Structure 1
């Protein structure tokens, strides 16, 4: 996601540069050269009398110098050269566009800023996801160790129960209960291992590290940081998460701003709002290559023109008016989405704080139960040593102790995930 959004942000910066250049002139050039193997020719004739009569002939000694030529035709045969060239250079400069160009620049700048914010938010989200998954692996491994210890106790219980059954000291149903308990622990181990595999696959996808295993991960869980987050002032966290300091809120505000700019552009594009531009064109067309062949200017085949152009839409069936209404509707939708997002942020914060409170209280409760379960183990071991309890009573107490510890680790994981989510929302 980060790589993809980084490219999107890079492209948005290029769009901003393109938008800025629309303020300046556009220069276009073209060059065409033709070679004609059989150039066209022009044949025509002129009456000599027309030429003679068009001239005022002087008189010398009272005698006219006008020649006496009558009805004589002068034939002229002209053929074009084999080469024909055409060159043009034109410059177009917008003069007045009702703010469409400047607002378009602001729009692209806003889009680029939104892409930057989205990139930062994605980086923060992925960092939080990475921390959450690594923390989950940390607690899952702790739970696996406890389950391994618990399974060892359950295996001892099964062996003791089978031996007791053989000696007539235990019925078969009690043996089955011990085996069922051992099997439940195996199933729990399998479920936790599946969760570990899932977390590794997600981390592999997140980090693009192939064949990721627990041996490749060196992670130190910062329990003090989690404790510090849970002790933060909740009202300050909420105010920060809903203020303009939050990049999520900045993105929402930027989205609203983009809709405002789009509305301005739509209003500037309605009927009877002409755009004015200047065009300067320089051209040449002739049989001589300019600057390199003699006589290329003799035919006066070059030109320089200045043009002021005005263009506007007069009637389009109301499309542009409806586009303004559409932009106003999108503007209202952006405001609604912004309010909904703020409500969702507040709701998520409240939910995560509730999770912190509930799980923290259950952790305190589990700590008492763990302490109580450990005392029961000591009591059963003492009673077993004095002959008032069996070995199975001791093993059952140890299994209960393991179960209470597993429940505590699960609650601690809930607190850590909620704390990371709170920290992410406050950025």
Structure 2
């Protein structure tokens, strides 16, 4: 038995499996985004860094221990001191004092400093870092929610742009048929040359529109790949069908309800704004605790040694001290007053920022709400228009089949119908964009594909 054909078939099968196109569903892409997105990874790193700052702040409650060690070599130590007394006492023999110095000199110092009272600066400092952790966590969740919403919105756009490409293919074939009929009419003397030229211009216009839509679809694919930090080839498929029933579910909400949902305290953007105002208030408290005549108190315990012998050899050169002290700024040109005023202004600004953010949310929800209902009205209008175009196209077809109509009229009717369907896809694209915006801002479940 010849094994070469079998080996060749197996090789071809394996190669086809290796180069087969991948398919991605919306849950697949969301899982890839949550695990691979670079902005999300950076937000997680920022949150981890803020957690370390909390640990640093809490460490201020405990003591600080410092150790200093030094060793000196003396090339010519003064081991004795000799001098004569100005008033000799029975003898003029010089007095000699042994300094105890040798060629080596060691110094050791161990100091423990424990804060006792700081006017709430330590407590408020810890609270500020804890607020910062909450802010970083809320910002991470807000970013995650925003990225998932962007992914869904781009998937919807890709879906409708792909449908529009198919319609443009159909429209292009019909326009080519119309060009052929027009050229035949010109050659037969039944049509003017300008009519054939107009048909060619329409064909080129359709080709241009198709290219623009294809470029937009490629941009959506590229953006989706960047969001998930993966490579999506042209042959890879983005799988999913839109649930139009759920898509229309937002029409049952009134504007006031949606705005109330968007500005609820549980929403990430509102929660971040509230945390920022709390952080500014704590910063003001820290500044007030540093005002004049508000001393910080601390206890310091020190153990030292200095001598020519190494540690633990001599016993007479040790020192042990316990001290309690305080430190306060009395005057610095008014800088501390200025700092308190600066923090108070920033606290007030945080409330302004919060109010502006709420106003922006209300505006965005209203704009998306109006766009949603406008697209819905446009779709209702275009649906009737398409029904009329279908009826007209059927009439033209019957006339053409019976021999009483022209093929060109039938093709024009079909072109009108396809143009209406393309416009409907554009309106669905606008509808899904507004839908994604509202579900993101209001925290509603977004699951269409």
TM-score (normalised: structure 1):
0.90
- CA distance in 1 between counterparts of 2:173 and 2:303 reads 94
* Contact 2:255–2:366 (Cα < 8 Å) also in 1: no
**What SS does structure 2 have at the residue aligned with 1:334?**
helix
CA deviation profile, 1:89-116 (whole Å, cap 9, x unmatched): 1111111111011001111111111111
- CA distance in 2 between counterparts of 1:414 and 1:309 reads 70
Change (3 A) 1:79 1:314: closer
Match of 1:38 in 2: 76
* Contact 1:381–1:394 (Cα < 8 Å) also in 2: yes
- CA distance in 1 between counterparts of 2:345 and 2:265 reads 24
Residue 92, structure 1, aligned to residue 109, structure 2: no
Match of 1:325 in 2: 341
- Aligned residue among 273, 277, 288 for 1:252: 273
Give the deviation of 1:418 after TM superposition.
0.6
Give the deviation of 1:373 after TM superposition.
0.8
Gaps of 5+ in 2: 1-38, 444-449
Change (3 A) 1:39 1:213: farther
Match of 1:6 in 2: 44
- Aligned residue among 51, 61, 65 for 1:23: 61
Residue 103, structure 1, aligned to residue 124, structure 2: yes
- Aligned residue among 231, 240, 261 for 1:240: 261
Match of 1:218 in 2: 239
CA deviation profile, 1:348-403 (whole Å, cap 9, x unmatched): 11111111111001101111111111111110011112222211101000110100
* Contact 1:128–1:420 (Cα < 8 Å) also in 2: yes
- CA distance in 1 between counterparts of 2:41 and 2:281 reads 30
CA deviation profile, 1:165-217 (whole Å, cap 9, x unmatched): 11112111111111111111001011111211222232232222235436253
- CA distance in 2 between counterparts of 1:249 and 1:257 reads 13
- Aligned residue among 159, 163, 166 for 1:138: 159
CA deviation profile, 1:262-301 (whole Å, cap 9, x unmatched): 111111111111111111111111122223x3xx11xx11
Paired residues for 1:26-425 under 5 Å: 26-44=64-82, 70-73=91-94, 80-210=101-231, 212-213=233-234, 215-232=236-253, 234-291=255-312, 293=313, 296-297=314-315, 300-425=316-441
CA deviation profile, 1:317-344 (whole Å, cap 9, x unmatched): 1111111111111111111111111111
Change (3 A) 1:374 1:76: closer
Give the deviation of 1:45 after TM superposition.
5.2
- CA distance in 2 between counterparts of 1:77 and 1:24 reads 44
- CA distance in 2 between counterparts of 1:70 and 1:411 reads 121
Gaps of 5+ in 1: 54-68
Give the deviation of 1:73 after TM superposition.
4.7
- CA distance in 1 between counterparts of 2:91 and 2:66 reads 56
- CA distance in 2 between counterparts of 1:125 and 1:135 reads 15
Over alpha carbons, which structure has the higher Rg? 1
Change (3 A) 1:77 1:84: closer
Give the deviation of 1:223 after TM superposition.
3.3
Give the deviation of 1:260 after TM superposition.
0.8
TM-score (normalised: structure 2):
0.85
* Contact 2:80–2:96 (Cα < 8 Å) also in 1: no
